[in-house]
Amino acid sequence: MAFINSFAPVFFNRASKISDKKEQFKLVITNMIPTISLFAMGDIKKPFNPILGETFQGHYSGDPIYIEQISHNPPLTQFLIYGKHYKMEGMFHPDPNLELNAVLIKNLGKGTIYFENTNNKIEHTALTLRM
């Protein structure tokens, strides 16, 4: 989850300085583009099944991120990123399905980004990936 959201501070710190809600929305959507490839790379490089209660604390360019595994079956991951003028929180869980010649990985749940300067709240759903 930390790897997938690693571009969030780049786009969200920029969006937090803009007063136009439409432009903030565009930057949130722009953040989703690298998220797609990072999601694929993370799953290919390192299949990982965290245990219940496992936590992660880190920083993106000084912005703290907190992640916790809140359920094992189904695997539920809750996260929180505190930017200088934004906050991103959400919960996701993967739902893999085997098909005849592919794997379809749906990431269920949603994330919400709050921008202080405009009181703008943008919600997004997670990604679906076919490999």
- Whether residue 87 lies inside any domain: the answer is yes
Higher model confidence: residue 42 or residue 70?
70
Give the integer Cα–Cα distance in Å for 58 and 77: 15
Note whether residue 3 is domain-resident. no
Q: Is residue 1 part of a domain?
A: no
**How many domains are contained in the chain?**
1
Q: Which domain, by its residues, includes 125?
A: 8-130
Let me know if residue 36 belongs to a domain.
yes
What's the pLDDT band for 118 if we cut at 50, 70, 90? very high
* Angle subtended by helix axes 21-45 and 8-15, to nearest 10: 170
DSSP assignment of 75-106, as one string? TEEEEEEE-SSEEEEEEEEEEEEE-SS-EEEE
Indicate whether 2 belongs to any domain. no
Model pLDDT, residue 87: 94
pLDDT digits (tens, 9 = 90+) for 74-108: 778 899 999 889 999 998 887 777 778 877 777 78
